[in-house]
Amino acid sequence: MTHALYDILLHLSLVTLLPYFLVKMISSGKYRRGLAERLGFFRSAKFEGFGGSRVVWFHAVSVGEARAVMPMLRVFRERHPEVKIVFSTVTATGNDIAKKEGALLIDALIYFPLDLSWVVKRTVRRIRPDMLIIVEKELWPNVMRVLKNASVPVVFVNGTVSERSFLRYNRFSFFFREVFSGIGFFCGRTKEDAQRAVALGTNPAATVVTGNIKFDMRPPTPGAGELEALRTVMGIEPADMVIVAGSTHAGEEKILLDAFKRLKGEWSVTPLKLVLAPRHPERFNEVETLVRASGLTCSRRSKGAADSPRRDVAILDTIGELGIVYSLSTVAFVGGTLVPVGGHNLLEPAFFGKPVLHGPYTKNCLQMAELLERHGASMRVGEKDLFDCLGKLLRDSGLMEKMGIAAKGVVDSNRGATERTLAVIDGIMKKTMRGKKPRPSAGEAGW
């Protein structure tokens, strides 16, 4: 009964919001991308060659989750070359990252279906997964119910249940307890995540703490020539002190620009450079306008070296290069933390042994923030003290080096979650994935 009510409310919400999404689809291409797949319609070629193969479906909502699971995907591919891998995302940027970084690993890249019962059933009929592996916290009741009814295990990896989410799920426990009970296995990032999952209905015997797989991400290792080319195209000179602000959101760039202008005013001799990497591509033009309105000169990475010489600010307006650009930083700031977004991956600059700054809003990366702060690898800043903290770091090379060493140490000492998680997945596969089954014909559910 509750599932039927949920489905009805979901359909009503979709109808109510349809005019809004129609406008968005007309004005922005990202809302049109993958629309057919989100409704459960796939081209026949999408699953060509699947035959009677076993299928494991990985789902990562966006960029951060897609990147985080790539090391696991590589090892899984090596261990199970016979298994077909379907990979889904919700966002277009996540899809782009999966296409770029998982090109040799993924057999079919799709957009995740809308959680409408008929859409989910159509998608599951087409994919016919033997297992669904969800990265972190994407909880879709109809997906869970349909797969449970089909005896397909759903495994959460890097599983997290924030305190805020726990309170919300608990408030509607009459509905979500059944959803959580459908989780085949929950591999939690922390002890607290695992305890909350169990309290919400996950089987204690199928809940384990495996750690955070983001510690197992390997930073890109560009050659000296590639790094020099990137420096040139970003307008970064060898003597520059570089502040890289990654994954920024609306409201953060102005705070960063104000602090940077004050620093440039005080440091007229020492060359300073600010790199802004907005989280969402649709904001690139907006951020450029904001920089120019502040009175600072600006270049964009996509326009090449001719656009970059001795500009104050460089905008990283490409996808997939932030990790490499962090390696060029003197100090790194991770966005989504000065505004109430919840933060992004604080480990990306830490991989390169860089001192990390972040704001107070870290609910999405709380474990990372606490670890880095506890080991003296990061500083928590606010709008009022960002200028002072940046100045303190840039003036003290010894402090920067100490923080950078601590940051690298935090990453290195917390690796291993990927292997622990894969041990769980391999165990489930041995128990549940024996034999083969015929796949549907191309015309059964495709178009």
Ranges of each domain in the chain? 26-211+416-437, 224-413
Tokens of 127: 């994919």
Give 151's contacts (C-beta < 8 A, 6+ positions apart). Answer: none
Matching residue, tokens 């650009």 = 325
Per-residue model confidence as pLDDT tens digits over 70-113: 999 999 999 999 999 999 999 999 999 999 999 999 999 999 99
Give the three-class secondary structure for 379.
strand
Rounded to an integer, what distance in angstroms lies between the CA atom of residue 88 and that of residue 365?
23
- Burial of 342-357, coded b for 16+ CB within 10 Å and e otherwise, reads ebbbbbbbbbbbbbbb
Per-residue model confidence as pLDDT tens digits over 141-191: 999 999 999 999 999 999 999 888 999 999 999 899 999 999 999 999 999
Checking if the pLDDT of 262 tops 60, the result is yes
Give pLDDT, residue 137: 87
Q: Is pLDDT larger for residue 63 or for residue 269?
A: 63
Query: Considering the domain 26-211+416-437 in this protein, what is its CATH number?
Result: 3.40.50.11720
Among candidates 198, 187, 181, 177, which has minimal Cα distance to 156? 187
Q: Based on C-alpha coordinates, what's the Rg of the chain? A: 23
**111: β partners:** 89
CA 178 to chain CA centroid, Å, is 27
- Fold agreement between 26-211+416-437 and 224-413: yes
Give pLDDT, residue 434: 55
> Confidence band (pLDDT; 50, 70, 90) for 1?
low
Give pLDDT, residue 445: 40
Q: Is pLDDT larger for residue 432 or for residue 268?
A: 432
Domain 224-413 indexed as CATH 3.40.50.2000 = yes
**391: β partners:** none
Q: Are 101 and 320 in contact (CB under 8 A)?
A: yes
- Which contiguous run of DSSP H or E holds residue 278? strand 272-278
Tokens of 133: 């592996």
What is the value of pTM for the model shown? 0.85
Report the mean per-residue pLDDT for the chain. Answer: 90
Checking if the pLDDT of 444 tops 60, the result is no
Give pLDDT, residue 439: 47
Checking if the pLDDT of 246 tops 60, the result is yes
CA 221 to chain CA centroid, Å, is 20
Checking if the pLDDT of 436 tops 50, the result is no
Checking if the pLDDT of 405 tops 60, the result is yes
Give pLDDT, residue 38: 93
Over residues 342-366, mean pLDDT: 95
Tokens of 375: 């080991």
Checking if the pLDDT of 320 tops 70, the result is yes
Give pLDDT, residue 4: 79
> Confidence band (pLDDT; 50, 70, 90) for 213?
very high
Q: What percent of the chain has pLDDT over 90?
A: 76
> Confidence band (pLDDT; 50, 70, 90) for 446?
very low
Give the three-class secondary structure for 156.
strand
Q: Are 131 and 108 in contact (CB under 8 A)?
A: no
Over residues 297-313, mean pLDDT: 85
> Confidence band (pLDDT; 50, 70, 90) for 221?
confident
Give pLDDT, residue 138: 86
Over residues 16-20, mean pLDDT: 70
Tokens of 426: 């391999």
Matching residue, tokens 């197992």 = 216
Directed axis angle between helix 173-181 and helix 2-27, to 10°? Answer: 90
